[in-house]
Amino acid sequence: MIAESNKVKDKALIFNIQKYSIHDGPGIRSVVFFKGCPLRCFWCSNPESQLKKPEDMWDNTKKAITTVGEYKTYDDIINEVLKDRVFYEESGGGVTFSGGEVLFQAEFATELARRLRDLGIHMACETTGYASTKTFSHFIEQMDLIFIDFKHPDSKQHRLGTGVPNELVIKNIMYAKEHHDQVIVRIPIIPNFNDSLEVAHQFAHKLNDMHIDAIELLPFHQFGENKYKYLNRDYKMKNVPQLHAEDLEDYKQILEAAGITVSI
Ligand code: SF4
């Protein structure tokens, strides 16, 4: 299912608004996390973001079960993020939409971004690009900066790892590159999925085909491990060691040999 499925169009299901973030775009930012995702990546570090409905989860700080996800109006979110406007202005920051998958609530997210931009807020997003190109194109018109994931160059493997094929993702990455000048393609490097040097060669070939000459590699981390326990769900990456930049040196060299600029 790729179409937006908002039950309540004047509200969006949000599971967090994280303040003072410095890793999701330039400057100091507030990150709005949309709940609901059409993918099911087996390594997902935000498993509480996947279902598009509120759900119970153990809160280990409060030592109690809490509900993850709350329906919020435009004003709820705008009023909250504007509290930090002075930090955005002083640092060159703004607001980033993340998830889950923000495009799963694309209509609301597009309108919210438009309203925030009208208020002079710099807008960024982190997306899988998994939505119809029409929906995607309207959304990215409201973005100043787009981070988009490319998880596997082979569609069959992409489907095995994420639950969906990659053709639409590739189409939208190419659309974004053609129609927007601030697009950063990111590849999460996941053990037993896309971390082999064979896949690095496949990526190099595919990225050349797509005329993409710069990417970021995101080494696998274990930040989400406890969340699976708190949600009472199985975690396929249990005890799998994290990766670090130095582990990706050979991978990086293969991409660079194909003329691609790589940052980690
Ligand atoms: S796209 Fe992101 S949020 Fe969705 S399942 Fe994959 S890692 Fe999790």
Q: What's the rounded Cα separation, in Å, for the pair 245 and 1?
A: 35
Atom of ligand 1 nearest to the CA of 99: 3
Of the candidates 65, 83, 67, the one whose C-alpha atom is nearest the C-alpha of residue 75 is 83
Angle between helices 197-209 and 249-257 (to 10 degrees): 30
Check whether 8 has a pLDDT greater than 70.
no
Q: What's the rounded Cα separation, in Å, for the pair 40 and 128?
A: 11
Q: Kindly indicate the confidence band of residue 6, based on its pLDDT and cuts at 50, 70 and 90.
A: very low
Query: What ranges make up the beta strands (E) of the chain?
Result: 11-21, 29-34, 55-59, 64-68, 70-73, 94-98, 122-127, 145-149, 183-189, 214-219, 261-263
User: What does the buried/exposed string (b/e) look like for 217-226 if buried means 16 or more CB atoms within 10 Å of the residue's CB?
Assistant: bbbbebebee
Cβ of residue 128 lying under 6 Å from some atom of ligand 1:
yes
Secondary structure, 3-state, 55-114: EEEEECCCCEEEEECEEEEHHHHHHHHHCCHHHHHHHCCEEEEECCCHHHHHHHHHHHHH
Q: What is the pLDDT of residues 27-85, one digit of tens each?
A: 999 999 999 999 999 999 999 999 999 999 999 999 999 999 999 999 999 999 999 99
Cβ of residue 41 lying under 6 Å from some atom of ligand 1:
yes
- Ligand 1 centre and the CA of 45: distance in Å? 8
**All residues at 6 or more sequence positions from 253 whose CB lies less than 8 Å from its CB, including other chains:** none
Check whether 251 has a pLDDT greater than 90.
yes
Cβ of residue 237 lying under 6 Å from some atom of ligand 1:
no
Q: Kindly indicate the confidence band of residue 13, based on its pLDDT and cuts at 50, 70 and 90.
A: very high
Instruction: Name the helix (H) or strand (E) containing 154.
Output: none
Q: What is the pLDDT of residues 206-231, one digit of tens each?
A: 999 999 999 999 999 999 899 999 99
pLDDT at position 126 is: 98
Q: What is the pLDDT of residues 114-168, one digit of tens each?
A: 999 999 999 999 999 999 999 999 999 999 999 999 999 999 999 999 999 999 9
Cβ of residue 127 lying under 6 Å from some atom of ligand 1:
no
Of the candidates 183, 191, 167, 241, the one whose C-alpha atom is nearest the C-alpha of residue 215 is 183
Check whether 2 has a pLDDT greater than 60.
no
- 105, 148, 162, 231, best to mutate for ligand 1 pocket (most atoms within 8 Å of CB): 162
Q: Kindly indicate the confidence band of residue 3, based on its pLDDT and cuts at 50, 70 and 90.
A: very low
- Ligand 1 centre and the CA of 89: distance in Å? 30
Atom of ligand 1 nearest to the CA of 37: 4
pLDDT at position 9 is: 74
Cβ of residue 164 lying under 6 Å from some atom of ligand 1:
no
